[in-house]
Amino acid sequence: MRRVLLATAAILPTAAQAQEVRIPVTLDEMVVTATGRPEPRSSLAGTVQVIDQETIRRSTAQNMTDLLAENAVGFFSEWTPGQTSINIRGGATDGQGRDFRSQVLVLVNGRRAGTANLSKLSPAEVERIEIIRGPASVVYGSQAIGGVINLIMRDGRTSPGGFAEVAGGSWGLAEGRLRYGMNVRDVNVAPQGSGAYDIRAGDIYVGLSGGRRDSYGAGNGGPILKGTQWNRAGGAAALGVETNIGRIGLSARTDGTYNTGFLGSAWNTSNHEDRTNHSADLTLEGATADARFRWNLQAYAVRDIDNLRWRAPIQRSAAGLPMPGTDHDDNRRVLDIFGTRLQPSMRLWQGAEILVGLDLERSVLRSTRSRIPMPGGPAGQVSPLDNNQTDMNAGLYTELSQQLFDDRVTLRAGVRQTWGNTAFDPTPNLPLQRAGSQDYDATTWSAGASWRPVPSVALRANASTGFRAPTATELAADFTALGGGRTFGNANLKPETNLQYEVGAAWFRSGFRADLALFQNTISDRIITRVRPRDSTTSDYANNPGDVVVRGLEVQLEADLARHLGIETFRWRANVNASWNFDMRDDGASRAANTRNVERMYRYQAGISTTVSQPRWDVTLQGILRGPVHYNTEENLLIPQAEPFRDYVHRKDAFWVFNLRASVQPFEDRPNLRVFGAINNILDENYHALFIATASNPFLGDARLANGGRGNSAPGREFIGGLRFTF
C-alpha cells in the first residue's frame, strides 16, 4: 500500500538536509487509494482529493476533523473536540463515529480504521491523506457509499531523520511531537544466490505525540464553554525490510483523546469521554523482476474503544417538561477487528492488467452500561447503546484495466461479491433479547474510462455502486437513550445502497493543476429511526422508502503563482477546494417537514489558502467558507422564540472563518530550527457548524433542560506559537 509514496521520494527531505519540506505543484502525482495500488491520478475514472505533507505541516489542526474541514472535504458536525460526523456527497457517518453504522469509510494504510470519528485521530503521524469522492465498494466493501478517507502513515522511508516540535497557545494549549526515521541500504545477511533468505535493505520509524487544552472561549466576547477540554496522546512505530520475496512491513500505532468534554445537544458540562483507537499491521509487497506479477498481503488487528461517562440530571419528558434524569450513565464500547487482505495483480498483455482481491474479516463488538438515577429518576439498569454482535464477512473482487492508443485511454471495470453474517450476541440488561444471526450479501460494481486527448488534459467518466449492511443494533435493538427515549430493532431491514454517476476533467500544466467533477449520487433504503404514532418517546428502525439524491459540482485548484507571474524572489502558492451541491433532495423527509433539503450537508463550501515563502520564512492565509446547512436540531430550543415547532428544520446561513499561519528560520546558520505561530479564527466569529443555540445572548435554548451549559460554539480567536527542530 505504501509503495505509492516512493513516487515522491525525490522531493522528501533527508536527514542530511534537515530543512522544511518544499513540494512543488506536480503534474500527475501517484495515488493509491482508488484502486488499491499506485496509479497516476490522470488515469483514474473517479475523483481523488489529496492532502499532501506540506499542507499537513502548515496546519495547526489539533485533530483530523480540523485538518479536513480546512480543506473542504465535506460537512463536519463537530459536536465536541473529541467527536464529529461527516457528510460527503450525501453519504454520512454515524453521529457517534461508529464505522459499522457509517456511509463514509475511514482507512488507515488502506484497511478499515475501526472508527469514523475523525476527531479521535491525530494528524501527527500521518504522511498524506487521500480522499475518494463517491462509492468505492468494489475495493473496500461495506460503508464506502459517500466516500473513502485513507490516512497513509509515516515510516522510515517517507520520513527519514529526526523531528521535534513543541507548541503552546490559548486556553492552556500545550502540544508536543517527536519522531525519528532511518533507512538502511545494501545490507546482506546471506550471500546472493545462495538460496537463503536475505535482507537487502531496511527502515525504522518511531513517533510520539501528545497535547492538552482547557475549556475554550467562544468568539465575539462569548463565555468560556465549560466541558470543552481535551487531552490527547498517541504514538506509532514501523519496521520494514526489503527481502528477496518483497518488502515486509510491521507497524503499530495508538491514538485517542482522554477526559474530553461532551456538551452535545443538551449543552451538558459534566460529561467526560475517553475515545481511543489502536492497530497493528503486517504487510508483504513484492513483484517479479519484470513486474508482470505483483502481490500485496496485509494482515491487521484493530481495537477501538469508547468510554462514555455521560450524565443527564435533567431530562425532557414526553410532554416537553423537565424531569429527573441520571447522575451517571456510563457506556463502554469495544470493537475488535481481525482481517486479512490478499491482492495480487498480473499484466495480461500490452496495456492490460487484472487485479484480484480477497478480504476476510471478523469483528466483535462488546458493550456494557451502568446507570445511576437522580432521586425520582428512571430506576434500574438498561441495555447499552449498541447490541453485542459478531460480524464475519468475506469479499471477492476483481478489476480489469486496459490502456489503449499509446496509453492515452484507460478503460476500467470491477465487480465485488460480499458475503457476511451478523450474530446478535448476548447483551447486558437486555432480558427479552432473541439471540441469533442473520446472513447478508451484496454485489457492487464500477465502470469507467479516462482519456488524455492532449498531454495536459484528462477527461473521465464513471458509474459505481455501494452498500452498507445493517448492524445487530438496527436488526434487534432494544435500548434506552441518554434522554430516556426507547428504540427497537427491525429484523427485516435491507442493506443501504447507492448508485453514482460522475464526469470530470483535469488540466495539468507545469506548476498548475485544476480538477472539475460533476456528479449525481442516489442513496436508497436508508436505515433510520421512526417515531411511533402517538408515542414520541418510542422509535423503530426502518428502511426509508424515499431516496436521497445529490447533484453537485466539485473544484480543486493548485497553482504556483510566482512561477506563472515570473516572480523569482519568493514562492507564491495557492490552493482551492470547493463544492456546490446545487440539488440536494431528501425524498424520504417527513411530510410535515418544512423542507426537503438533505440535512447536515452544506449547499456549498470552500477551503482557500495562499502561501508566500522564501527559504527562511513562509506565511499562509486561509479562508474556510462554511456554507448553508439544514438541520432539525436535537437541541431543546425555546418555542416560539427560537423555532415555531419542535420538528422545525432550520437553515443556518453561510459564513467565513479566516486563519493565519507563519514560520521563520531565526538563525541563518541554523536551517534546522524554525519558529512558527498561528492565529485561528482571526475575526473572532462566534459560530458553530451545526448547532442553533450558540453561546451568546439571548440564549435560544430552554435553560430548564440545559444541564449547566449555555449553548455550543466553536473556539473564538486562538493564538498558537512553537518551535520546530529537525535533525
Residue 550's CB is within 10 A of a number of other CB atoms, namely: 26
CA pair distance 133, 130, nearest whole angstrom: 10
> Domain residues for 719?
2-726
Q: 321: exposed, middle or buried (C-beta count within 10 Å: 0-12, 13-18, 19+)?
A: exposed
Task: Give the single-character DSSP code of 7.
Answer: G
CATH number of the domain that residue 385 is part of = 2.40.170.20
Is residue 15 predicted with pLDDT exceeding 80? Answer: no
How confident is the model at residue 5, as a pLDDT? 37
Rounded to a whole number of angstroms, the CA Rg of the chain reads: 25
Is residue 1 predicted with pLDDT exceeding 50? Answer: no
Q: How many residues does the chain have?
A: 727
**Bond before 698 cis per omega within 30 degrees:** yes
Count up the domains in the chain and report the number.
Answer: 1
pLDDT in tens, 505-525: 999 988 999 999 999 999 999
How confident is the model at residue 645, as a pLDDT? 93
H/E element holding 473?
A: helix 472-476
How confident is the model at residue 2, as a pLDDT? 39
pLDDT in tens, 441-478: 999 999 999 999 999 999 999 999 999 999 888 888 77
Joined together, the cell numbers standing for residue 107 give 482507512
pLDDT in tens, 303-323: 999 999 998 999 888 788 899
- End-to-end CA distance of the chain: give it in Å, rounded: 28
Report helix, strand or coil for 571: strand
- Please tell me the least confidently modeled range out of 187-201, 328-342, 533-547: 187-201
Buried b (16+ CB within 10 A) or exposed e, 491-514: eebebbbbbbbbebebebeebbbb
| Mean pLDDT across 545-568 | 95
What are the two backbone dihedrals, phi and then psi, of residue 313, each rounded to the nearest 5 degrees? -55, -30
Q: How confident is the model at residue 81 (pLDDT cuts 50, 70, 90)?
A: confident
pLDDT in tens, 223-281: 999 999 999 999 999 999 999 899 999 999 999 999 999 998 889 999 999 999 999 99
Report helix, strand or coil for 204: strand
| Mean pLDDT across 652-671 | 96
Helices (H) and strands (E) in the chain, counts: 5, 39
How confident is the model at residue 431, as a pLDDT? 82
- Report which of residues 535 and 38 the model is more confident about: 38
| Mean pLDDT across 416-425 | 94
* Cβ proximity of 580 and 604 under 8 Å: yes
Q: 194: exposed, middle or buried (C-beta count within 10 Å: 0-12, 13-18, 19+)?
A: exposed
Q: 603: exposed, middle or buried (C-beta count within 10 Å: 0-12, 13-18, 19+)?
A: buried
How confident is the model at residue 484, as a pLDDT? 73
CA pair distance 105, 52, nearest whole angstrom: 20
| Mean pLDDT across 684-707 | 92
Joined together, the cell numbers standing for residue 84 give 464529529
Q: How confident is the model at residue 9 (pLDDT cuts 50, 70, 90)?
A: very low
Is residue 7 predicted with pLDDT exceeding 70? Answer: no
Percent of the chain with pLDDT over 90: 76
Q: How confident is the model at residue 23 (pLDDT cuts 50, 70, 90)?
A: low
Q: How confident is the model at residue 6 (pLDDT cuts 50, 70, 90)?
A: very low
How confident is the model at residue 482, as a pLDDT? 67
How confident is the model at residue 380, as a pLDDT? 84
Residue 564's CB is within 10 A of a number of other CB atoms, namely: 13
Beta bridge partners of 438: 422
Q: How confident is the model at residue 189 (pLDDT cuts 50, 70, 90)?
A: low
How confident is the model at residue 10, as a pLDDT? 33
Is residue 117 predicted with pLDDT exceeding 60? Answer: yes
* Cβ proximity of 475 and 258 under 8 Å: no
Distances (CA, A) of 697 to 220, 551, 561, 628: 11, 38, 44, 22
Is residue 626 predicted with pLDDT exceeding 90? Answer: yes
Distances (CA, A) of 37 to 236, 294, 380, 530, 700: 23, 10, 53, 42, 51
| Mean pLDDT across 364-375 | 95
Tell me the pLDDT of the chain averaged across its residues.
91
Residue 455's CB is within 10 A of a number of other CB atoms, namely: 12
How confident is the model at residue 185, as a pLDDT? 76
